[in-house]
Amino acid sequence: MYSSCDKAEKAIFFDRLLYIPGIFIPLLIYHFSLEFCKESNKTLRILLYLGYLLSIIFAFLTQTNYFVKDIFYYQWGCHTIAQIGHHFWIGLIFPYVILALFVFVKKWKNFKQFQYERSQIIYILVGIIFFLPYGLEILPAYKIGVYPFGYLGLPLFTLIIAYAITEKQLFGPALGNYILISAILIFLATILLFPMVEIGIGGRLILFCIMAYLCFLLLKYTQQEQAIKEQLEKSYAELKKLDAAKTMFLSIASHQMRTPLTIIKGYLSLALSGDYGKVEGQVKDFLEQVYRANEREIALVNDLLDLTRIQTGKISYSFEDLSIEDLTAEVVKEIQPEAQTKNLQLVFDKPKEPLPKVKADSQKLRQVIFNLLDNAIKYTKQGEVRVSLEFNPHNQTILLKVKDTGMGMSPEEINNLFQLFNRSQAAVNTYPSGVGIGLYFASEIVKAHQGRIWAESAGINQGSTFYVELKTKEYFR
């Protein structure tokens, strides 16, 4: 603005123009404090929105005589003279700067056990303190002539933040680079703001050193980012090889295990059916226990094989139009003996009217239903397991619901429920031989059917409800 002091209208125009970004600076600092400190206090958030609303009003007001008008000339330049709108704006900015400092200090106190995070906040606070003299540049608006050293507050602030970015990892790599580049541009812009001020050779040398240091930080940070990127790419390649080796091992091991297990099953079936002579008493009980254990191992091997097919993309689906109520009834009938063994009621609430058919792979969808019922029975000690089907005509979907009176789940357990090899400690204690594949496999099958699967629970020992939502055949794509 200083180069325009000889023409009052031009000076007023540029001063009003410069006020527009300046209006928002206190709000941006306050907004940054809330986001950086992850402050969720509703009152502080409401104050933020209110501040932005008022700032927008003041931004428009800057272009009128109600904010600034006329020119005050002093030794180092000139400035527009503050009016009533300017007075109200001053009353707005100070509370928000104080609130920003309050948020940072509050977070700093909460980080007693995290020295690294505390040091990050210290750098931000120091940067803000160095930036505060920038506010002295509004004194000429009240006819108080001061040397424009306050403009140095902006580059000093960016210099401190730039140092914190590189040395304290204040932001992520990508954002850090953008901020460092912005710091250099802000520094250059600051120099342009007072071209008529004589700074001498010493001042120019200082400015050059600051600029060189900012460039050095940018180069250093870019090199750090490149090194991290190369290391991540290398680690990713190694993990990919390990994952491929794991998948191959699971596939080979599962195939090798299934053959002897199938042979064992055959001989046990022959023995229990009396082909080798009559089997009675304890011997029969022993063979039945072995047979059931062998069946569990075969089911585990099949799950592992299915897992390798999913992870390698080799699993295939044969979609057809089918009745989900008939399929559910078959699975309920098949697993009913397991419920009776535990003295549980397994109830299927059949729909009163026939449901629309779905487009599905009958074998894969059978596995999903069987898995949900099997889990419900396993983790329910007493009470019932209830299965129901509902048709939603609004979105043309069918909802399968499996509700039990079992051990229930916490919100944290629900969040991780469908992850591979995930099992809660309570589930491990109840059924130690599980490995956490079934629900993951079920979720992948449901996704392939363009459906959704989720679970709900009121809490531990409050039972659980599992839902599977599938599209009717007309809406399947």
Q: Show the low-confidence residues of the chain (pLDDT under 70).
A: 1-4, 112-117, 149-155, 158-159, 161-225, 244-256, 258, 311-312, 431-435
Q: What does the mean pLDDT of the chain come to?
A: 79
Question: Going by C-beta distance under 8 Å and a sequence separation of 6 or more, which residues neighbour residue 425?
Answer: none
CB 432 within 8 A of CB 411: no
Q: Tell me the one-letter amino acid at 414.
A: I
Helical H segments across 342-408, by residue range: 362-378
Helical H segments across 137-199, by residue range: 153-168, 173-193
Residue 93 and residue 17: Cα distance in Å, rounded?
Answer: 18
CB 150 within 8 A of CB 121: no
Helix axes 438-448, 281-311, angle to 10 degrees: 50
Tokens, residue 350: 């059949």
Residues 283-301 have pLDDT tens digits of 878 887 887 777 777 777 7
Q: Report how far apart, in Å, the C-alpha atoms of 97 and of each of 107, 158, 266, 368 are.
A: 16, 17, 79, 57
Q: Which of 302, 288, 445, 427 is nearest to 361 (CA)?
A: 445
Backbone angles phi, psi at 278, to 5 degrees: -65, 135
Residue with tokens 């089997």: 279
Tokens, residue 76: 């180092």
- Report the Cα 178 to chain-centroid distance in Å: 22
CB 369 within 8 A of CB 389: no
Residue 48 and residue 32: Cα distance in Å, rounded?
Answer: 11
Q: Which of 453, 450, 452 is nearest to 476 (CA)?
A: 450
The whole-number pLDDT of residue 74 equals 83
Q: Which of 422, 441, 348 is nearest to 387 (CA)?
A: 348
Residue 310 and residue 304: Cα distance in Å, rounded?
Answer: 10
The whole-number pLDDT of residue 195 equals 47
The whole-number pLDDT of residue 349 equals 93
The whole-number pLDDT of residue 31 equals 87
Residue 375 and residue 303: Cα distance in Å, rounded?
Answer: 14
The whole-number pLDDT of residue 1 equals 46
3-state secondary structure of 316: coil
The whole-number pLDDT of residue 262 equals 78
pTM: 0.48
Residue 133 and residue 152: Cα distance in Å, rounded?
Answer: 8
Backbone angles phi, psi at 419, to 5 degrees: -85, 150
Backbone angles phi, psi at 404, to 5 degrees: -130, 170
The whole-number pLDDT of residue 194 equals 47
The whole-number pLDDT of residue 441 equals 85
The whole-number pLDDT of residue 128 equals 78
Tokens, residue 273: 């059916």
Q: Which uninterrupted H or E stretch holds 88?
A: helix 84-110
Residues 6-51 have pLDDT tens digits of 777 888 888 888 888 888 888 888 888 888 788 878 898 899 999 9
